[in-house]
Amino acid sequence: MRKHKEKFEDIVNTGFGPQSFVEGSRLINKKGEANLKKVGMPFWNRISVYHSLLRMTTGRFLLIVFLSYTTLNLIFALLYYSVGVEHLVGVDGHNSTMYQFLDAFFFSSQTLTTVGYGHVAPSGLATNIIAACESLVGILVFAVVTGLLYGRFSRPRAFIVFSHNAIIAPYKNSQAIMFRIASYKNNYLTDVEATLTVALHEDVDSKLVTKFYPLPLEISKINSLALSWTIVHDLNEKSPLYGYTYEDLTNYRMEMIVSIKAFDEHFSNIVQQRTSYTYRELVEGARFLPMFRKAPNGTHTILELQKVNAFEKATLPKMEILDTGSLKANA
């Protein structure tokens, strides 16, 4: 395995530690989240319920709302039933236990939502106290749910799709690492800026250490992300990866951390999205295929988002090998 050239200064303020032996399979997952799990404190101290409810998928959020609503109704229905359904005016006491409990459950749902059809009404001090408490809980709960729905709906997001693979492609009689992004919603992103950092697991004094290096880009900022953007890192003499083969990158367990920052004109806010590419997601000798074309009637451009990862095989020109004086085999 090659020892990295000393002329490239590594980054020490990435937020990740240099000890490779404590890392998992990757530093950043495909969703752009840190690939770690925090322990040492109680679960409810480690989690922000508000942030979790805002960031989870829509299906899971709706399921939690439904289960919470059903659970609250079950709890209050049990309270009404334990006091006695005879204190719920309108409930037929001759019905079976199941139907009496269902009447208490549906009365609870009407009280929790403050609908109150009037078919069933509380009677007695204990039942009225339970109904009053449930009305208060209903007001508070639905205020929270309404706020969460608005927060989820109005939260600025980048809505950027990344190519699943990064590729090593022919570029200017040499080679370059490329990946592609596109905006898949009808929001409009301007002043889009990309930063790329590579993590290499190097052998330093017989100890595996993670080092981070910034990768300069051909173009690091564009005015608008109207179409797709192929982000290019030229593997020239200015690259920390210059002279390294695909096998070298595999041996170093290379991971490229990508950060995209842009201005969303709809929200007048800055949005950001991250992801990473490991050596397993790096394809050697490929070229991205075009993903936009002119409409048949010639009035507009069609951006084919399903082709963001479409590539074909390509022949790579041979890289200039580093001189032996700058290489040193590790023991």
Does this model's pTM top 0.85? My answer is no
DSSP run (H or E) holding 303 = strand 301-303
Q: What is the pLDDT of residues 156-194, one digit of tens each?
A: 889 999 999 999 999 988 899 999 999 999 889 999 999
Classify residue 182: in a domain, yes or no. Answer: yes
pLDDT at 91: 80
Structural domain containing residue 84? 47-154
Please say whether the dihedral angle defined by the alpha carbons of residues 264, 187, 161 and 239, taken in this order, is positive or negative: negative
Q: How far apart are alpha carbons 280 and 140 in whole angstroms?
A: 49
Q: Residue 34 contacts by C-beta under 8 Å, 6 or more apart in sequence?
A: 27, 28
Domain boundary among 154, 172, 189: 154
Do 123 and 165 fall within a single domain? no
Domain boundary among 154, 174, 200: 154
Identify the residue whose tokens are 């002043």. 191
- pLDDT confidence of residue 11: 73
Give residue 319's pLDDT. 61
Do 221 and 110 belong together in one domain?
no
Residue 190: per-residue pLDDT:
95
Give the tens place of pLDDT for each residue, 266-288. Answer: 888 999 999 999 999 999 999 99
101 domain residue, yes or no: yes
Is residue 166 located within the same domain as residue 132?
Answer: no
Residue 275 resides in a domain: yes
Per-residue pLDDT, 46:
81
Q: What stretches in the chain show pLDDT beneath 70?
A: 1-8, 12, 17, 19-24, 319-331
Cα gap 30→58, rounded to integer Å = 19
Q: Which helix (H) or strand (E) holds 154?
A: helix 125-154
Closest CA to 322 of 264, 214, 261, 236: 236
